[in-house]
Amino acid sequence: MSGQRSVEIVVRGRVQGVGYRAWTKGVAEAKGLFGTVRNRLDGSVEARIAGPAEAVGAMIEACREGPPGARVSDLAVSEAPEPAGARGVQILPTA
């Protein structure tokens, strides 16, 4: 797989209050990805991540586990427009 890929990942389960956003930021940046991550009002976490397709795929797999303390019950991935900004992962306010 080559080229760039941009996805929206919505993670459900015990994913708020366990450091999931900070973990996502750290793992994504370590993989050379960029985008945004935030808690959602429904209790899920939403990440919009972009970068090399292979790294995005690895990030999706990492999100299935999450940080220690998280329990992922569902993970939905959809192709999405590339997030604004091209450096790092920004943690956004809950929406």
Return the active site residues: 21, 39
Q: How many CB atoms lie within 10 A of CB 90?
A: 15
The two tokens of residue 24 are: 């996502």
Helix ranges (H only) for 1-95 are 20-30, 53-63
Beta bridge pairs of residue 36:
48, 90
**DSSP string spanning 19-30?**
SHHHHHHHHHHH
